[in-house]
Amino acid sequence: MNDVPAQGRVSIFVNGRARQVAGAMTLGELAEACRLDARRLLVELNGETLPRNVWPTHPVHHGDRIEFIRVVAGG
C-alpha cells in the first residue's frame, strides 16, 4: 500500500529527483510547470514512452517516475 501525502499532493520522481505535486496534475501540466517545451520532448513514465496525445489528460500518480527527455536535432 502506498502512503499518499496529505493535502492532495503526491510524491513523484522527475528526472531522478523527488518532487511533490498536486494529485490532480497531468503530465502536460507537469511539463508546463517545469517550463519545458512539449514540442521538443519525449516523456517516459515508469519506463514506458508515452505518446504526446495522452499527456494533457494522463494524471500523475503517487510514486510515478517521469523522465523528460529533450529532443535535439543536429548533425
Residue pLDDT, tens place only, 10-64: 999 999 999 999 888 999 999 999 998 888 899 999 999 999 999 999 999 999 9
- The reply to whether 3 falls in a domain is no
Domain count of the chain? 1
- The reply to whether 60 falls in a domain is yes
Residue 40 maps to which CATH number? 3.10.20.30
Please give the residue range of the domain that contains residue 17.
9-70
Strand order in the sheet with 17-22: 17-22, 9-14, 65-70, 41-45, 48-50
Q: How far is residue 10's CA from residue 3's CA, in Å, rounded to a whole number? A: 9
- Full-model pTM: 0.81
- The reply to whether 53 falls in a domain is yes
- The reply to whether 2 falls in a domain is no
- The reply to whether 33 falls in a domain is yes
